[in-house]
A and B are shown apart, each in its own frame.
Chain A
Amino acid sequence: MFPQDASLNGHRIDELFWLACELTAPAFVIVVAVLAISVVRFRAREGRRASYTKGDSPRALGLTLGLVLVVFVGIDVNLAWHDAHAFHELFEKPPAPDQALRIRVLAEQFLWSFRYAGADGQFDTADDPTMTGEVHIPTGKPVIFELRSRDVIHSFCLPNMRVKQDALPGMTTYLYTEATVPGRYEIMCAQLCGFGHYAMRGTLVVETPEQFDQWMRERNHEFGVARAE
């Protein structure tokens, strides 16, 4: 059901989903069972009268409170707790900038542009490799995507990394991820941005560190040479 997981922490999302299923399925089964049993067993029949209970007895209230407690602890707190941990791992641990690969992402109607720091390690200098549509990252290294939009709100969605983040005009948002499986994956736009929203596709190319270094060297050369000329 899930797309291929090519990331370090993405499995936490899948696990959360299945946990949520495990917690909610019994509730659903109970509801359906009671509905099904009731319409058969308690169908109106000649000579049988419904029981006259109002549910305001101490026993009923006790049962209700018990149910609330089970729901709160067993489902709410349980799920929220696990989720908070997963969220922390995926979104609240920004890698140290010097240990991560920083990539600037510019979203606009209807394409994704990417900018690397270049050989000098600084953004907004003339040697920054830039490209549209396709971005390369290595496995085993944390990546910081710095997101911005040139026009309306877009959303940088990496289904195989199990993450997404909105890209807004006038402010920068951040997305952290780390890939583990080389391959070509799709980038999707996950916020309605106009008529071409459905076609705002990009490619996330995950390479081995060696392949990536080679690719980065070539790009740096290409853009460094351009500056020199």
Chain B
Amino acid sequence: MSEPTSFLRRYVFSTDHKVIGKQYLFTGLFFLLVAGLFAILIRWQIAHPFQPMPVLGHLLSSDSHGVVIPTEYSKLFTMHGSLMVFFAVTPILIGAFGNFIIPLQIGARDMSFPVLNMLSYWVYALGSVAVLSVFFVSGGAASAGWTAYAPLSSSVKITPGFGQTIWIVAIAFSGTSTLLGAINYIATILNERCPGMDLMRMPLTTWGFFYTSILNLLWVPLIAAALFMLVLDRTVGTSFFTAGPLAPRGGGQPLLYQHLFWGFGHPEVYILILPIWGLLGDLLATFSRKPAFGYRATVISMGVIVAVSQVVWGHHMYTAGMNPILGKTFMFLTVSISMPTAIFFFNWLATIWGGAIQLKTPMLFALGVVFVFALGGLTGLFNAVQALDVYIHDTTFVVGHFHYTLAASVFFGMLAGIYFWFPKMFGRALDERLGKVHFAISFLALNGVFAPMMVMGVGGALRRLADPSHYELLRKFSTWNQVAWWSAFALLGGQLVFAYNFVRTLASRPTNVQNPWNATTLEWATSSPPPHENFPAIPVVCRGPYEYSSPAVADRDFIAQNEPALEGASA
């Protein structure tokens, strides 16, 4: 395909996966900032209930005078969660990295459906406009939580205003974009691999995107169905999810919404973490100069998790009024996920053990993922078992758990990916020293925000409370909340270091180093940034993705995947 020349075709309506990836990256980073600021407001309110917040307080509605009043609080945590999941993390991780990296790592010129790819971005962009518009309509933003349980979300009597309704549509746009992307990624990974690129020679990053796309393909439609019925409840006046006095003409079932939502929602959290597990494989191998340990076992384990993650959604509903037999089934299935997880944990540790570790910034963040995901994953066990979960359900323990796995693991993974692939995307590398400072602050601060939540949760602190001190039981946690607040503030500071690094590097002159990390996978076998057609000639792959420190070569410690076959080198 010939390279477009007009500005619009090159940078705005481009079908080039590399450009689309960058579009997703910048839009996603914008939402990461917005949703992050909302989190700062939330932590301020918890630590200083109903005291006006300096500076950021001006973002709130005018009649609140800088105070996070209860109506504002509900909107804040709702929009924080929804923006993070649908408009920041998914676009950056799957939209940006997936798009940019997949064709390069498999040796293709572009995705299977470049025009569909462009459409995917613009559907997401439209959704972005829609979701931002909720702040400006009467009634303000959505306020029923990112989970939007019915009937709170479905009844316009209870939750009036356009904001909640437009929110539903905006999420649907984001979901549509993701779904179209999933079709593209699966088709591309299956069909566009270059000669020699067997499935079991693909880098783990690509495997991560492949698996994530399968889950997206199957389960985004489920939340689409739920949102479709939810919006009908709100606009047309149906009552699919309303029952009892709110549905005088005979209603539906609120629990149905929860099954549909979590039927999507649980796979969704694996959708968000799978690319991270994938890229950990690449990064740990690259920066340990050592093959990824147990590559096949990791691929299989990730596949097992993809399968099992589809049948465990009920563990979000242990207190919802489900049949207890269902509960036990969900419990046993959920705890069994720890087995494949243990396998690739073992493999990550076995990869770095015996390596020649380079503590560059991407590696620091990758190691950080291993640490925080250990905490996040292990606390998942506490939530998996029924009786214990009933106690910690809806407490800040759960919030701590999913933030350790999302805000920490996915966040660190994303940053690891950004530092790692920035040189490939932009032809310049982010500053190492600033990167290390960013890591140190982020690592300490993240633990400072979320570890206290686990302690408080066990002590009975419920989530989504605009003012926990309303309960005598929770007043003793004020110190922990102060720790969380200052840590959140420090975390923001750390991200400002990153933002400065990001902008300054983009403004600097490119160095165009093709392979700054001496990595083996195909994206490093072309220039930085790659040409429009990705490779001058389609690569031919001769070996697996992690030939580091192979005894077959003495003068260097890596062999690129597409280097012609050497005598004595293993495939």
Which of A's residues lie within 8 Å of B, judged by CB?
A: 1-3, 12-13, 16-17, 20, 23-24, 27-28, 31-32, 34-35, 38-39, 42-45, 48-56, 60-61, 63-64, 67-68, 71-72, 75-77, 79-80, 83-84, 86-87, 90-92, 109, 148-153, 155, 157, 159, 162-166, 168-171, 173, 186, 188-199, 201
Q: How far is the CA of A77 from the CA of B339 in the complex (A)?
A: 11
State which of B243, B297, B321, B339 has its C-beta within 8 Å of the C-beta of A173.
Answer: B321
Flag if B354 contacts A2 (CB, 8 Å). Answer: no
Cβ-defined partner of B324 (8 Å) among A17, A23, A39, A92? A92
Contacts of B342 in A (CB 8 A): 67-68, 71
Chain B 375-414, CB within 8 Å of chain A: the 1/0 string?
1001101100111101101110000000000000000000
Report the Cα distance A194→B158, complex, angstroms.
8
Given A42-B288, A43-B357, A165-B321: A198 in contact with B387 (beta carbons within 8 A): no
B21 at the A interface (CB under 8 A): no
Decide if B143 touches A195 in the complex (CB within 8 Å).
yes
Contact B338 A75, beta carbon cutoff 8 Å: yes
Cβ contact of A48, chosen from B242, B243, B356, B467, cutoff 8 A: B356
List B contacts of A193 (CB < 8 A). Answer: 152
Q: Which residues of A contact B387 (CB under 8 A)?
A: 12-13, 16, 83-84, 86-87, 90-91
A186 to B460, CA, bound (A): 11
The interface residues of chain B lying within 8 Å CB-to-CB of A68 are: 339, 342-343
Cα A201 to Cα B567 with chains together (Å): 75
Q: A42-B357, A49-B356, A173-B321 are in contact. Are A196 and B385 (CB under 8 A)?
A: no
Q: Does B551 contact A (CB under 8 A)?
A: yes
Q: Which of B73, B462, B472, B551 contacts A52 (CB 8 A)?
A: B551
A42 touching B394, Cβ below 8 Å: no
* Chain A residues, CB < 8 A from B350: 53, 55, 60
Segment of B111-119, B121-129, B171-179, B248-256 in the binding face: B248-256
Question: In the bound complex, how far is the Cα of B359 from the Cα of A43, in angstroms?
Answer: 8
Report 16 cross-chain contacts, Cβ distance below 8 Å, ordered by A residue: A17-B458, A35-B352, A42-B288, A42-B353, A43-B357, A76-B338, A151-B245, A159-B460, A162-B391, A190-B319, A190-B462, A192-B152, A193-B152, A196-B70, A198-B464, A199-B467
Q: What secondary structure prevails in chain A residues at the interface with B? A: mixed
* CB within 8 Å for A195 and B71 given contacts A71-B338, A190-B393: yes
CA distance A157 to B288 in the complex (A): 49
For the complex, is B444 an interface residue (Cβ under 8 Å from A)?
no
Number of interface residues of B (CB under 8 A): 97
Within 8 A of A (CB), among B281-328: 288-291, 293-297, 319-321, 324, 327-328
Contacts of A12 in B (CB 8 A): 387
When distances are taken between beta carbons in the complex, the residues of chain B under 8 Å from A2 are: 458-460
**Interface-facing stretch out of B86-94, B185-193, B216-224, B366-374:** B366-374
The answer to whether B349 and A3 touch across the interface, beta carbons within 8 angstroms, is no
Chain A CB within 8 A of B246 CB: yes
User: Bound state CA distance, A190 and B390, in angstroms?
Assistant: 11
Residues of B participating in the A interface, judged by any CB pair closer than 8 Å:
70-71, 73-74, 143-145, 149, 151-152, 155, 158-159, 242-247, 251, 253-255, 288-291, 293-297, 319-321, 324, 327-328, 331-332, 335-336, 338-339, 342-343, 345-347, 349-350, 352-359, 367, 370-371, 374-375, 378-379, 381-382, 385-388, 390-391, 393-395, 455, 458-460, 462, 464-468, 470-473, 546, 548-551, 557
A190 and chain B: residue at smallest CB distance: B394
Contact in complex: A170, B549 (CB < 8 Å): no
- A4 to B, closest residue via Cβ: B473
Residues of B within 8 A of A189 (CB): 462
Q: Is B386 in contact with A87, judged by CB distance below 8 angstroms?
A: yes
- Residues of chain B lying within 8 A (CB to CB) of residue A169: 151, 242-247, 254
With a cutoff of 8 Å between Cβ atoms, the chain B residues found around residue A52 in the complex are: 290-291, 548-551
- 6 more A-B residue pairs beyond the given contacts A50-B356, A72-B339, with a C-beta to C-beta distance below 8 A: A23-B381, A32-B374, A54-B294, A83-B386, A189-B462, A197-B465
